[in-house]
Structure 1
Amino acid sequence: MKKVIIFGGIALVFVAVLIWFGKMNSKAPVQFDTEKAFKATIVKKTVATGKVTPLEEIEIKPQITGIIDKIYLLEGAKVKKGDLIATVRVVPNEQSLISAKGRVDNAKIRVNNAEISYNRNKKLFDKGVISASAYEAVELTYNQAKQDLLNARNDYQIIRSGSSGTGGMANTNIRAQMSGTILQIPVKEGDQVIQSNNFNAGTTIASIADMNKMIFEGKVDEAEVGKIKMNIDLDITLGAVDDKKFPAKLNFIAPKGTEESGAVQFTIKADVTLDDNYFLRAGYSANAEIVLEQKDSVLSIKESILQFDKKTDKPFVEIKTGEDTFERRDVELGISDGINVEILSGVTADDEIKIWNKKAKKKEDDENN
């Protein structure tokens, strides 16, 4: 009885296996879609990230140390060369002030002494007692003493108030050195400022730029910098301006790169053509599309239907030779834009190329489900 049960079970399993194989053999073979090569314009581009900045920008620094007394303009104001931006109140150094006052007093003493000598010798010269050369020497000494007194007074006045008061612009008046827009005023009234000198760059009171001349400044990788050339056209897109491209022309490629995060980057600059309908602010983040290579109307296929040999890594496609039969065809590739790739050899415009990653049968099953 046990043997009958065992043999019966084996028979049932055998029948089930036969039925399963029958169903598998009755399934329709997997069918692949195909497509043909086509003519296309392929543009290979790279993107440089950076920002737009004014071509001409200067920083206004004081010529004297003191305290900001008054600020007359605000950031964003348009100025002309010579416009008053702020004034500085001088806080003189007491030691320097006392020293300058002492030089003035000494100069007065010398002038008084020279004046007495001059008046005495002038009377003698008028009577013919002394020669003309002796009189002229005394007169010269008197005139020099008066000039020394004037210089000492001017020095004292400059130390005390920042200006000699003899004409010209006072050092306490901070004026625009060029026409443009005030980008920034980093100081406030009451702030102490330091003059520009050989040992200190000085305090920046205002920065001014010509906003009618803007440039793009960005960086490109060393692998691509050799493919770009001077005076080529660029398209600039800004994060702050939607759906607008600003044309630009490349005018600078840095001769030396800088290493950033393990990659060498080269600075590039391009003149941006402005649009009167848009106001570009200094420092907008921007991207520049740079055309590295372009070919018009070349035989192309989609990159997605390419296959690569696992051993040699060489590209190939499968060409339809009959009903559900394909043969391998090695291909030589040209430029690519990431979607389409140029075919130099291996495929003709009449060949039907297998779309290896898209199965028609699976698509039908998905639609049925």
Structure 2
Amino acid sequence: MNKYVKYGLIAVLVLGAMWAAAFFIKSNSKSATAYDTKKPFTSNIEKKTVATGKVIPEDEVEIKPQISGIIDKIYMEEGEAVKAGDLIAVIKVVPNEQALNSSRGRVRNAEIALNNTKIEYDRSKALFDKGVISSQDFLNLQLRYDQAVQELDNARADYQIIRIGSAGGSSSANTNIRATVNGTILEIPVEEGDQVIQSNNFNDGTTIATIADLSKMIFEGKVDEGEVGKLQLGMPLEISLGAIADQKLEAKLKFIAPKGIEEAGAVQFKIEGDVEINDSIFVRAGYSANASLVLEKKDSIMVIPEALLQFDRETDKPYVEVKVGDQKFERRDIEIGISDGVNVEIVSGLSFEDEVKIWNKTEPIKRGEDEEGNEGGEEETS
């Protein structure tokens, strides 16, 4: 082998060994990660749950007609305030032809019967005045005459009701649809010209209007079965409205459903709460809302950030690492209590003097490296 080639190979091997040694030294010269610590501290914890739902009027009254027909005129609009007795709409009656003809025939029969009875009454009265017939016979005939008059009046009234919906056009006519309670008109689902059906034993009837008192609102929502057992009637609720930002309403829990409803594999229980309405805001019926309920609260207890907890892979029990020297830590099993998702209660295992390792610390991005990466990205894009 040529001596120059031999010396060249030796030089390459020497340079490679020197580069490897330099890389090893540089890699091991990096400082070890320094962990920060945090001591337990005193704080208050509230364990809350949130129920989603909506704000609705406590009572909604549906106004329905007592006679079938066609909407002739609507006098109110949605959103208007009304009082009991205010006229909302008028119905034009479209009578049934068979019923109308039958009623007309009844009137005619009553007129014929009255005419016949009147002839007998007039003849008997003349005989009674002359003393030919007894007083008892005359009184019996007079009773028949009065009954015939009353029958004709009844037949004519029934005929008027079938034909126009009212016997005499009074303010209490069935064709006049009036508010039955004080409140605000939430909805008028019909228009002029629409046909409506009367309310009866076999049909709910057509709704002409829906009225509610918007000063008496309730929250209606649902909570999960895992939390419903911790609720109690009278608990305070904090209502957040989706349509009104930065506004909170106070409420009190007044109802918890005794039976749950399964939804998407989870059992939900309906709850209701009386909402205190502020005069400064106008709450519309049907606003979506969230109700925050405090399930458990503890004041002045020892806590640590929940992020400091670690859990045993086999037993799933919580523990932390406590500082025992310079960057030296030992495992400490602890017992925890309630948590609000940020801090967790320490029941036992720690003291206020212990320094707990922040084990999941994230390294901040150096400004120089970040700018370098951005420059590189810009060059590649260009």
In the superposition, the TM-score normalised over structure 1's length comes to 0.93
Of residues 293, 297, 315 in structure 2, which corresponds to 1:294? Answer: 297
Of residues 126, 136, 141 in structure 2, which corresponds to 1:138? Answer: 141
1:310: which partner in 2?
313
Query: How far apart in 1 are the matches of 2:139 and 2:226?
Result: 80
2:94: which partner in 1?
91
Does the alignment pair 1:354 with 2:348? Answer: no
Deviation at 1:30, TM superposition (A): 1.8
1:7-59 CA distance string (max 9 Å, x none): 66555555444444433443322210100111111111111111111112111
1:155: which partner in 2?
158
Query: For 1:36-51, what aligned pairs fall within 5 Å after superposition?
Result: 36-51=39-54
Which is further off, 330-339 or 141-150?
A: 141-150
Runs (5+) with no aligned partner, structure 1: none
Query: For 1:187-336, what aligned pairs fall within 5 Å after superposition?
Result: 187-336=190-339
Deviation at 1:110, TM superposition (A): 1.4
Aligned residues: 366
Query: For 1:334-345, what aligned pairs fall within 5 Å after superposition?
Result: 334-345=337-348
Deviation at 1:277, TM superposition (A): 0.9
SS of residue in 2 equivalent to 1:274: coil
Specify the code of the residue in structure 1 equivalent to 2:78. Answer: E
Does the alignment pair 1:54 with 2:27? Answer: no
Q: Percent identity?
A: 60
More strand by share: 1
Deviation at 1:124, TM superposition (A): 3.8
RMSD: 2.0
2:378: which partner in 1?
none
Deviation at 1:197, TM superposition (A): 1.2
Which is further off, 24-33 or 104-113?
A: 24-33
SS of residue in 2 equivalent to 1:358: coil
Query: How far apart in 1 are the matches of 2:264 and 2:132?
Result: 91
Deviation at 1:303, TM superposition (A): 0.8
Specify the code of the residue in structure 1 equivalent to 2:67. Answer: I
1:73: which partner in 2?
76
Query: How far apart in 2 are the matches of 1:21 and 1:346?
Result: 42
Runs (5+) with no aligned partner, structure 2: 370-382
Query: How far apart in 2 are the matches of 1:121 and 1:164?
Result: 34
Query: How far apart in 2 are the matches of 1:166 and 1:352?
Result: 89
Query: How far apart in 2 are the matches of 1:268 and 1:194?
Result: 35
1:113: which partner in 2?
116
Does the alignment pair 1:366 with 2:366? Answer: yes
Query: How far apart in 2 are the matches of 1:311 and 1:18?
Result: 42
1:106-140 CA distance string (max 9 Å, x none): 11111122222233333444444444443333222
1:219-267 CA distance string (max 9 Å, x none): 1111111111101111111111111101111111111111212211111
SS of residue in 1 equivalent to 2:108: helix
1:257-284 CA distance string (max 9 Å, x none): 1121221111111111111110111111
Deviation at 1:214, TM superposition (A): 1.0
SS of residue in 1 equivalent to 2:307: helix
